[in-house]
Amino acid sequence: MIDTAEITGVILAGGRGSRMGGVDKGLQNFNGMPLALHTLLRLQPQVGEIMINANRNLGAYEAFGVPVWPDVLSDYAGPLAGFLTALERCETPWLVTVPCDTPLFPQDLVARLAQAATEQDAEIAMAAACEEDGKVRTQPVFCLLRLDLLESLVRFTHGGGRKIDAWTGQHRTAIVPFDAPGDDARAFFNANTLAELHQLERSK
């Protein structure tokens, strides 16, 4: 089994927030605190180290007390830019990625991903969850990655690749469903608009 101390967590807060009117999504309030801070407090007990990937308002993120790194790729290249940035800074054998806009993600997320990675001898473990239409779909921004995938991701992104699934498809990937009895149906609901964020607050 992978020990918690062997895993670094990264909170992906580097997007444009275009569907939220261009605001910095990670700094929007959720139950009285910024979304990214809420995410940080939820992820911290699950990992050994933690960092934030952000591209603006770096001082606000640094105030949370963990390292903050902007994308190493230019032009808001999407979540894979955050994966790449974090893998380059990671000092543990494993990295887990979590977006800043999904505040109710499971408190046993990392443990279940780590268990699947161990049991299936996988290079990547990716969460999957039941969506509104009742189908279980992968949640590619929730990934546990081996640090030694850095070289592969550098090649993929430098070749213009931007889709997470296209890259993870090149590697042994364990898909981990979070659809057991007792799993919160809202765990992987991501708030793309302020209205969705307020709706999620009220649903608690």
pLDDT tens digit string along 88-137?
Answer: 999 999 999 999 999 999 999 999 999 999 999 999 999 999 887 878 89
Could you identify the residue written with the tokens 């979304």?
35
Q: What is the pLDDT of residues 131-163, one digit of tens each?
A: 878 788 999 999 999 999 999 999 999 999 999
For the chain, how many residues are written?
204
pTM for the model stands at 0.94
pLDDT at 130: 86
Per the rule left: phi > 0, alpha: psi between -120 and 50, beta: everything else, 102 is beta
Confidence class for position 192, pLDDT limits 50, 70, 90: confident
Among 139, 145, 143, which residue's Cα sits nearest to residue 189?
139
The continuous run of DSSP H or E covering 59 comes out as: helix 58-62
153 vs 201 pLDDT, higher one: 153
pLDDT at 15: 75
- Set out the domains of the chain in order of their start, with CATH numbers: 4-202 (3.90.550.10)
**What is the edge-to-edge ordering of all strands in the sheet holding 124-130?**
68-69, 49-54, 7-13, 94-99, 136-146, 124-130, 173-177
Q: What is the mean pLDDT of residues 74-85?
A: 85
C-alpha 66/C-alpha 84 separation (Å) is: 18
- pLDDT of 17 above 70: no
Question: Hey, how many other C-beta atoms are within 10 angstroms of the C-beta on 119?
Answer: 11
Q: Is 144 helix (H, G, I), strand (E, B) or coil?
A: strand
Question: Hey, how many other C-beta atoms are within 10 angstroms of the C-beta on 31?
Answer: 10
* 184: phi then psi, degrees, rounded to nearest 5: -70, 125
Residue 7, strand partner residues: 94
C-alpha 85/C-alpha 42 separation (Å) is: 21
